[in-house]
Amino acid sequence: MNVLAGSVRGVGVDACEVERMRQSLERTPTIRTRVFTADECADLAGRVDPVPGFAARFAAREAVMKAMGLGLGAFGFHDVSVRRAESGQPSLVVGGQAARLAEERGITDWFLSLTHTDSVAIAVVVASGR
């Protein structure tokens, strides 16, 4: 069970339409490598339909920006990625410019929840700090 390590610094929520992500991936296949890390692509490779997973991971990046009070473009897409534990629990990997911005805001810990249906993927991010 995760317990918030400190005070909540921000909460971000984002939704991504699965069909819109599917169309983007079909229209521009390079989005996979421009937006998602090699580890994320490998994690999703074995799924019958990886698109809902890509949509959820995209929503996670947007939710991180919102949790920090920032807009799209504040940091590179590869600065934030989603890692799954063997249990299936997702967590965030935050580096580069995103990590520097988080440090400026006193954020030391991240909590992530992902869900999706056939039509929409949702990510909720809580940023906390000491």
Q: Could you give the maximum distance between any two Cα atoms of the chain, in Å?
A: 44
Q: Which helix (H) or strand (E) is 100 found in, with range?
A: helix 96-104
Residue with structure tokens 């009070």? 69
pTM for the structure as a whole: 0.92
pLDDT digits (tens, 9 = 90+) for 21-37: 999 999 999 999 999 99
pLDDT at 1 over 50: no
pLDDT confidence of residue 6: 72
How far is residue 100's CA from residue 2's CA, in Å, rounded to a whole number? Answer: 24
Q: How far is the C-alpha of 105 from the C-alpha of 118, rounded, in Å?
A: 35
Residue (of 34, 42, 74, 29) closest to 58 by Cα position = 34
Beta bridge partners of 16: 121
pLDDT digits (tens, 9 = 90+) for 37-85: 999 999 999 899 999 999 999 999 999 999 999 988 899 999 999 999 9
Comparison of pLDDT for 73 and 94, the residue scoring more: 94
Region at 106 (left for phi over 0; alpha for psi -120 to 50; beta for the rest): left
Cα angle: 61, vertex 81, 19; to 5 degrees: 55
Domains with residue ranges and CATH for the chain:
7-129 (3.90.470.20)
